[in-house]
Amino acid sequence: MELPHNLGRRVGILGGTFDPVHNGHLAIAEAVRQALALSGLLFIPAFLPPHKPTYTISPFVQRAAMLELAVVDRPGFFVSLLEAEREGPSYSIDTLRTLRQTLGEEVHLFFIIGMDAFAEIHTWKANRELLDHASFVVIGRPDHCQQSCGQTVAANFPGYTFVAAHGSWQGEPGQGAIYPLIVPPMKVSSTEIREAIRQGRPVRDLVPATVADYIEAYGMYR
Ligand code: ATP
């Protein structure tokens, strides 16, 4: 599997369906990069998202192409197609194992996850092992706060305690931390964008211009 050679040692991972990528995704990525001093950030489109309802998801190549267009002028942001190299559903644990093997033990991985997804972490495959490979960065959306993050930590990761000096929950030495991060709310979702296009409303304020051009050129989401 190929990865950019200039990722550095503090690498953020933002997985998703990205159907399409939008300004909310980019704002989160930028906020986490700054808050945790990341050296690089990988956007990883899911080949077969295991947690999505069964609407017709756009082809992987198109979702990946839009991501490539979105990061092209953003140094330090990269797209990884590693989930396309596996068959079957795209489980985060498999992705983290692959990244750990490829990047080695020296690299600190930061797995970025929305608060809504984190609240469902009990349904994820091998969820405790995730923290053997990466720290979590849990993004608070407007209607969520550190308290609900704390409840999820307590329910799923016993042994983790909040350490104020680090601003994170910490487990055993060698295990990843869990960082809550409140990002200024951006009321945008891929669902809203698909819906807007279907209704003929403009989406140029919600996605990078190159992505809007691509959507138009290929007549997506009509
Ligand atoms: P959909 O509307 O199709 O469910 P989405 O906009 O939530 O899509 P995904 O590709 O599923 O996009 O998102 C990838 C990650 O980005 C998820 O962890 C999700 O929680 C997070 N995310 C998406 N939009 C926002 C937003 N506006 N603010 C904060 N987090 C977001």
Q: Answer whether 45 contacts ligand 1 (Cβ < 6 A).
A: no
Half-sphere exposure of 133 (CA within 13 A, CB side): 21
In the reported structure, the alpha carbon of residue 154 is separated from the centroid of ligand 1 by a whole-number distance in angstroms of 24
Q: How many domains does the chain have?
A: 1
Answer whether residue 222 is part of any domain. no
The mean per-residue pLDDT over the stretch 167-186 comes to 92
State the residue range of the domain holding 140. 10-217
What is the pLDDT confidence band of residue 54, given thresholds at 50, 70 and 90? low
**Residue with the nearest Cα to atom 17 of ligand 1?**
114
Contact 90, 46 (CB under 8 A): yes
Q: Is 4 exposed, middle or buried (0-12, 13-18, 19+ CB in 10 A)?
A: middle
pLDDT at 112 over 90: yes
Whether residue 188 lies inside any domain: the answer is yes
Q: Note the pLDDT of residue 120.
A: 94
Mean pLDDT over all residues of the chain?
92
Ligand 1 pocket test, candidate residues 14, 28, 206, most atoms within 8 A of CB: 28
Query: Bridge-partner residues for 138, per DSSP?
Result: 113, 180
The stretch 103-108 carries a mean pLDDT of 95
> For 4-45, where are the alpha helices, taking DSSP H only?
23-35
CATH number for position 119 = 3.40.50.620
Q: Is the CB of 190 under 6 A from ligand 1?
A: yes
Q: Is the CB of 25 under 6 A from ligand 1?
A: yes
Residue 144 in this model has a pLDDT that exceeds 90? no
Looking at the domain assignment, is residue 3 inside a domain?
no
Find the 26 Cα to ligand 1 centroid distance in Å: 10
Determine, yes or no, domain membership for 193: yes
Please tell me the predicted confidence (pLDDT) of residue 211.
98
Specify if 4 maps to a domain: no
Is the pTM higher than 0.85? The answer reads: yes
* Domain assignment present for 63: yes
Does residue 2 sit within a domain?
Answer: no
Q: Verify whether ligand 1 is closer than 6 Å to residue 76 (CB atom).
A: no
Q: Is residue 97 part of a domain?
A: yes
Average pLDDT of the residues in 12-26 = 96
Distance CA 34, CA 41 (A): 11
188 lines ligand 1 (CB under 6 A): yes
> Is 117 touching ligand 1 by the criterion CB < 6 Å?
yes
